[in-house]
Amino acid sequence: MKPAYSNLGGYCFVRGVGTCAGTVIRKGCYGQCSLCIPDASRCIRRQRCANHNGVCLKKADWATCDRELDSYFCYGADCACCRTKICTRQDSCKNQGGYCYRLKANVSRQHVCNGRVDPAGCGGVGCQCCIPTAGK
């Protein structure tokens, strides 16, 4: 196991041979192994989230983020990094229970908004406000 992950209560397993019923961190162990964190309810911060003073939030808490939300920089189901970057949430977005995310050139790293998009709800280049659909 790589030292950065030693305090997460996980274990290493051989990729393609072992299985994991929790969160998999592909490069969390040395060699041809991945790291399994059995507690899938936690969000685990990637270094790029930490580099921008970010904190990982579960989906239920995304509307509490007044900065930019990026779903690529945290491990775990329904987790995203609330980090200082480009976007700033406007009152119109906040008052509707929305959060900000930024459009990306690499679509595989693009945050997916499950709701209505308000392009004017967030300040910053390429920033949009996602107002989640009720009950999702």
Whole-prediction pTM value? 0.70
- Domain layout of the chain by residue ranges: 3-37, 44-132
Report d(CA 126, CA 86) in Å as an integer.
9
Other CB atoms within 10 Å distance of the CB of residue 83 = 24
**Residue-level pLDDT at 131:** 94
SS3 89: strand
**Residue-level pLDDT at 46:** 87
Q: What confidence tier does 136 reach under pLDDT thresholds 50, 70, 90?
A: very low
Report d(CA 82, CA 26) in Å as an integer.
22
Question: Minimal CA–CA distance to 101: which of 135, 67, 77?
Answer: 67
Question: Minimal CA–CA distance to 82: which of 103, 60, 106, 52?
Answer: 52
